[in-house]
Amino acid sequence: MYAERPDNICTNTMSEAAGLTDLHCHSTASDGALAPAELVAHAARSGITRLALTDHDSVDGLPEAARAAAELGIDFVSGVEISVSWQGKVLHVLGLNVDPDHSVLRAGLAQLQQRRSTRAGHIAARLEKLGLSDALARAQAQAAGGQITRTHFARLLVADGRVSDLKQAFKRFLGAGKSGDVRIEWAGLDEAIGWIHAAGGLAVLAHPLSYKFTGAWRTRALAAFKAAGGDGLEVSCGASQKPDEIALCAAEARRHELLASVGSDLHDPAQRWIPYGRLAPLPADLTPVWSRFA
């Protein structure tokens, strides 16, 4: 086990006096392991002072997280991670500092939730054909009313001993081109950014290096994101990020004139081998997205 609070807490910007920012993580409202209040408590113990909860296509965890954050003195940011279909690929667009009750955002997310639920039935049927018993009912029970994601099916495959870990579950059953990879049409890029802006938030492209794009495709995606009104890019995204990867993301933020964000994409503290909270600081010349929160 690791110590939850690192000794050498670093700040996420060179200029900030104290405290850590994490603007990307998940709770049981989607595929996180911790309930919203538990997640906030874990963040507080880890030295996080500014936190956004960004569940997949859902704002349902935000009220509980906001209440817990208020009690613990954490500066809480209402967020969401919207699934987007673009040019036959999937992008994840974070809405940060949104009004979770805004009707346009709510209506958009409701559509995605409906499609997600339908997709879960298709994924389950395919996995059941491959011998996974009762996949839909067990995924639904596990999600307990939250959004059902491929992560839930991955956990079932691990629980049944079909694979050794989540990574293998994606490699063999759920990742691109595998039988459990059921493609559906998520939100359009303009649509998702429109919902976020309608709800008063800023749109940030999540984990820019995790889409397995070539350089040319990344350039196209970032240009399309900017042209659609995108505001920011996740530049510091996780303890496993290498210095040259941060430099690359920072260069993309400068090139496309995007604000910079910091997000761990935490799903489960038990899955981490590096203490939560240890995210690389943003280069000082970039403008942090949180400096633009109203």
Binding site for ligand AMP (CB under 6 A): 31, 56, 83, 149-151, 166-167, 170, 175, 267
Q: Which residues within the stretch 253-282 sit at the binding site for Mn ion (CB under 5 A)?
A: 265
Which pairing describes strands 89-96 and 232-236: parallel, antiparallel, or unpaired?
A: unpaired
Contacted entry of Mn ion, ligand AMP, none for residue 231, CB cut-off 5 to 8 Å set by kind: none
Query: Which residue has 């492209």 as its token pair?
Result: 205
Q: In what order do the strands lie in the sheet with 48-53?
A: 20-22, 48-53, 75-86, 89-96, 202-205, 232-236, 259-262
State yes or no: residue 55 binds Mn ion (CB under 5 A): no
H helices of the chain, in order, are: 36-45, 62-72, 103-129, 135-143, 150-159, 166-169, 189-198, 215-227, 243-255
Query: Which residue has 């993309």 as its token pair?
Result: 252
Residue number, 50 or 267, with CB nearest to ligand AMP: 267
- CB of 31 vs ligand AMP, minimal distance in Å: 5
Handedness of CA 2, 206, 90, 139 (dihedral sign): positive
- CB of 208 vs ligand AMP, minimal distance in Å: 15
Residue number, 96 or 206, with CB nearest to Mn ion: 206
Which pairing describes strands 202-205 and 259-262: parallel, antiparallel, or unpaired?
A: unpaired
Residue number, 133 or 271, with CB nearest to ligand AMP: 271
State yes or no: residue 191 binds Mn ion (CB under 5 A): no
Contacted entry of Mn ion, ligand AMP, none for residue 170, CB cut-off 5 to 8 Å set by kind: ligand AMP
Contacted entry of ligand AMP, Mn ion, none for residue 83, CB cut-off 5 to 8 Å set by kind: ligand AMP
- CB of 250 vs ligand AMP, minimal distance in Å: 23
Contacted entry of ligand AMP, Mn ion, none for residue 42, CB cut-off 5 to 8 Å set by kind: none
Contacted entry of ligand AMP, Mn ion, none for residue 33, CB cut-off 5 to 8 Å set by kind: none
Q: Round to whole Å and give the CA distance between 186 and 102.
A: 20
- CB of 205 vs ligand AMP, minimal distance in Å: 14
Name the region of 175 (left: φ>0; alpha: ψ -120 to 50; beta: rest): beta
Contact 78, 64 (CB under 8 A): no
SS3 138: helix
State yes or no: residue 31 binds Mn ion (CB under 5 A): yes
Q: Which residues within the stretch 70-109 sit at the binding site for Mn ion (CB under 5 A)?
A: 81, 92
- CB of 54 vs Mn ion, minimal distance in Å: 6
Count residues binding Mn ion (CB under 5 A): 5
The footprint of Mn ion (CB under 5 A) covers 31, 81, 92, 206, 265
